[in-house]
Amino acid sequence: MSTVKMARVGVTPARVLRSEWHKFWTLRSTWITLSTASVLILGTGLVMAVGHEPAGGGPGEVGDPVVLTLIGVQFGQILLPVLGVLFSAGEYSTGMIRASLCAVPRRLPVLWAKAAVFAAVTLALSSATVLATFLLAQLFLADTDMAASLTDPGIAGAVAGTAVALTLFGVLGLGLGALIRSVPGAIGAFFAGAVILPEVLSAVPSSAVQDAVAYFPARAGESLGAVQQHDGALSDGTALLALCLWALAALVAAGRLLKRRDV
């Protein structure tokens, strides 16, 4: 009888996932950040569509209906990584991580469950948001040079790539939060490394440096979410691989630290 009882109350992957799922949705920041990101992406896309003139548009927008209608994903690239940091590093600031690791002594399942829950939710939300934004924006662009359909070559891939890039940005933020264990520190590291550093390096007059900049998260995300690629942009497969490796590297580093260091 005692063996049966212990089996029922034991730690299982499903129970760890369920625990992280409840934690994620009980955070006020989850609801606020996800809803804000969706509204900003949708609202910006509709504003761009309504205000578009056939002869207008910036250098990165002309000729690419996906970039034009989904330009609001730049807000998502800020908000989702911040949410990822809050979900991971927030437990260290509140001290709740001690209870989590006491309940799951092996530690790593907690990190993997966090990443799985976060990735699943953000991918579902990002996919729904970017698809709805593109389709609604096209209602206003039907008779313009930016009219496009999901069946047109490259359109569906760019829309899907945008959602995937947003998700991986968020997972990268989560990994940095678990690695640095400080909300301000992880947010600062994300923006310094993923946003600011590529812009600084892009000013360096070196072809090798310019090639390397294309593999940074922000530039890889741009390549993955565009139909028309500019010179030096990565292919879709390479851009996806680069983003996956950035996110995975942050999670693996956080996992190694979690195993070797006390809370």
104 closest CA partner among 113, 117, 116, 94: 113
Report if residue 35 sits inside a domain. yes
Rounded to a whole number, what is the largest CA-CA distance in the chain? 77
Report if residue 4 sits inside a domain. no
Report if residue 5 sits inside a domain. no
Instruction: For residue 218, give every residue at least 6 positions away whose Cβ sits within 8 Å of its Cβ, in sequence order, or none.
Output: 77, 194, 195, 198
Which two structure tokens, joined as six digits, stand for 186? 């992880």
Indicate the number of domains in the chain: 1
Report if residue 10 sits inside a domain. no
Model confidence over 216-232: pLDDT tens digits? 998 899 999 888 877 77
Q: Domain containing 128: what range?
A: 17-260
What does the DSSP 8-state code read for residue 61? Answer: T
Residue 144, CB-side half-sphere exposure with 13 Å CA sphere: 22
Report if residue 140 sits inside a domain. yes
Report if residue 38 sits inside a domain. yes
Report if residue 9 sits inside a domain. no
Task: State the burial class of residue 243 (Cβ atoms within 10 Å of its Cβ: 0-12, 13-18, 19+).
Answer: buried
pLDDT at residue 58, rounded to an integer: 45
Q: What is the CA radius of gyration of the chain?
A: 20
pLDDT at residue 8, rounded to an integer: 52
Report if residue 72 sits inside a domain. yes
Q: Which residues of the chain have pLDDT under 70?
A: 1-9, 55-62, 262-263
